[in-house]
Chains A and B, each alone.
Chain A
Amino acid sequence: MSTHENRLCRLIVREHFGPIVEKVANVLIRKGRMPVGLIANFTALKPRQVRECLLVLIQHNLVVYAESQEKTRIVTYYEINRPELLHRVLIPKVLHSSQDWFERDGALITQSLLTHGKLTITDCVADILKTSGVAPGKTTTQRTQSLNKAFTRMVKEKCLIAVRPSDSLTAADKNMAEEKRETDKMTLPPTAAELASIRKALGAQKQAEQNSTIVGLKRRLDTMDDGYGEKRARLLTDGDLVIVEEVETDVYFKVNFDRFIIRWRNVQIANLYEARLNPTAKAIMQTIMNLAEERMINCKEEHSSPVSIMLLLNSLPKDTNLIDTLEFDPSDLGPNNTKPKIHECLDKYVQILEDDLMKILKKDAGRSGQYVINLKMASEILKKNLIQGIVSARFGAPYVRIMNMLADKGKLEEKQISRFSMMPVKDVREKLTTLCTFGVLNLQEVPKTKERTPSRTYYLWEVILSRAADTLTDRLYHTMGNLRQRRFVERAKRAVLLNKCERTDVKADDSLLNAAEKKELETLNGALEMLEIQELRIAEMVITLRDF
């Protein structure tokens, strides 16, 4: 909602969908929800062009709409879907992660879905076969089967999420319609308490829906030929029926950015322990996060679901060396100095992780042998580490010292800060104002008298993590907007050369470009690559501050 965020959103739309869609998106971003006629007025485009732009944006889940009854007409209002738009800066990382987790098929599926916004499994597979063809030695049927398998796996792991027609409606209007449905059942208008309880019940219902079965996945019994030309149910060796999960062919799917962000956050939480303890601790933590990940919906949850230690023992990677990376007290090993068993080592490791000062892993209060991750604490630690890194690179160690002291001790006056940090008051005052202007510190005034005179007021400095994260996020949006705009400027500076490269004869024959032009193109590509990569690095910082 700040100017920098608006500019970044506009530039993302311009890069992905062109200048005409950018005009429409810009109006929606800056002025809020409005109907087609008003958008056409502000953009000076024809209504048909506006409708085409809105179609493109709705197809890519960037705009939602609401139909409102005004006298005798029904007017459709369109609104920008900001979170989905801002997630588009993470597309390079999403593509790379899809390749890592689901191999080449997963990367192709993700690319197809990001190109088209949302597709059914059949259309997605058809699109991939059309663009990338079939590798030699494989038939189309085999390729289709392998793509279907990859797609199903991505849906099961929630990296792809089903899109329903109701997802194109604005969330606020949907909530209001549900509330109206509930309040219409009552004879009298609801009181504030009743309205609050209705909203809580609807929220819990939504939560339960998200935790239940995956939308778009159906189960059927696996069948096989019985040798007489008929199908019968396939059985396992122990007589159980084989159930096969399939994606429904008429359901549309899109890329679920939240799931990717959850996984990246889990990897970062596990990495915390590699620096503090050792790589084996990181592997154990990573396994715990993987087991708890299935029930995670978004990054704002406070605790994970419980993970049992027996399940953890069976799920650890084969190459995890628990025994040799631990040191045991010789008195505990017994007279024969026998090495402890694996489950004892794991118990010891889990104990060490639980006792760690970060307090991320803790026992589940209700059940024995089960552990829970404190996701809220872990997110705060990740944010704090990042903010410290930014302040350290920008200003230096003394500033970080002051910031850490305030984060640990709460609100302090400048005299106390000067005493604890062993710096003169004059220097401390200068550093405090610099950090406050930067957005990391907050100032709380506590007047001693009613008149609020400066000489009779306590000035307490503090670090409020959420506010610091928001301010720094805005600064980072500014930087990302600058980088993106710089890419446009670099291309605009060489517009004549790029126009020449677009010519059909030059595309067919490279030698029509002279050496200077080729060198200029290389310089351009190098600059664009650096700018894109820098923007991606900053985008990773933004998700740590905003989404974790």
Chain B
Amino acid sequence: MSRGGGRGGGRGGGRGGGRGGGVPGIQTFGPDAIQATFKNPGETYPDIILPVARPPTDEEGEMYIAMKKLQETLYSSPYYLTEPRKPGAITRYTDRYHQDQAAKRPKLDTIKSSKSFFPDELHSILDPKTITRKREINHKYDISKIDENEDDGEAEIDPETGLPKKTGDGEDGPEEEEYEDEDDEDDNDYGENYFDNGEGDDDDGDDGDGGDY
């Protein structure tokens, strides 16, 4: 494998250019390149002459300025997420001049977008008043209708997602109803913490039911 890597002109900017005349070096690019072979591998770490990148044109300079401006806009937009600045152990005089960028940025619920682009579980971020309830399939069976045509019991399929459509009755309820944000209760994915691990027991020394092992 030839030495000097396989990068075509990519590193010229960072290094600042090749070496001047009088400094020995091996040409590893172009027609005068010395390629390492099995019989003549050469030095392990030779001094190599890197190619110098051509300077930027006016157009490229304008592109860089436009990109830099967009970068700054993105940095101060609600889409750039960072951890909030934590106060250090020692309070310094210059702390008054340091801004918490995370606190300065607008929140995600101020962005102009439509809920239809996002799945239900992300609606609470866009609109904090919404609670996302876990969509469950309505499996209520009416025994009196058991002899009727089975097709009537099947849910209607949504053509876009291929999944059963939400029914407008029973558990789901109207959409205008306000829900709490489930994340306010817990920071985990467990919907119902019915097992309290014995914390809420008034233990009178009974053996209790114990576990079945």
Contacts and interface: CB of A to CB of B under 8 A. Distances in A.
User: Looking at chain B, what size class is its interface with the partner chain?
Assistant: 35 or more
User: Looking at chain A, what size class is its interface with the partner chain?
Assistant: 35 or more
A55 B126 contact: yes
A534 B97 contact: no
B26 interface: no
Given A55-B125, A396-B30, A483 B67 contact: no
B122 A538 contact: no
A136 interface: no
A91 B9 CA distance: 21
Most buried by A among B51, B56, B99, B112: B112
A395 B33 contact: yes
Nearest to A400: B31
Interface string A94-122: 01100100000001000100111111100
A169 B81 contact: no
Given A15-B71, A53-B81, A165 B117 contact: yes
B162 A92 contact: no
Contacts of A123: 112
Interface stretch (B42-50, B57-65, B140-148, B201-209): B57-65
Contact of A47 (B94, B161, B187): B187
Interface string B116-147: 11111110111000000011110100000000
A430 B74 contact: no
B71 A18 contact: no
B94 to A, nearest CB: 7
Given A19-B82, A20-B82, A58-B122, A96 B14 contact: no
Contacts of A510: none
B70 A111 contact: yes
A102 to B, nearest CB: 14
Most buried by B among A96, A180, A390: A96
15 contacts: A51-B124, A52-B81, A56-B79, A68-B163, A69-B163, A73-B135, A74-B137, A91-B70, A92-B64, A111-B70, A168-B117, A181-B157, A252-B114, A499-B98, A536-B63
Chain A to chain B: the 5 pairs with minimum beta-carbon distance, closest first? A530-B13, A177-B162, A396-B31, A92-B63, A165-B116
Interface of B: 1-2, 6-14, 29-33, 35, 37, 51, 53, 56, 59-64, 66-67, 69-71, 73-74, 77, 79-83, 94, 97-99, 101, 108, 111-114, 116-122, 124-126, 134-137, 139, 157, 159-164, 183, 187-189
Interface of A: 15-21, 36-37, 40, 46-49, 51-56, 58-60, 65-69, 72-74, 76, 91-93, 95-96, 99, 107, 111, 114-120, 123, 127, 131, 163, 165-169, 173-174, 176-178, 180-181, 184, 252, 390, 393-398, 430, 434, 437-438, 475, 478-480, 482-483, 486, 490, 499, 502-506, 527, 529-534, 536-538
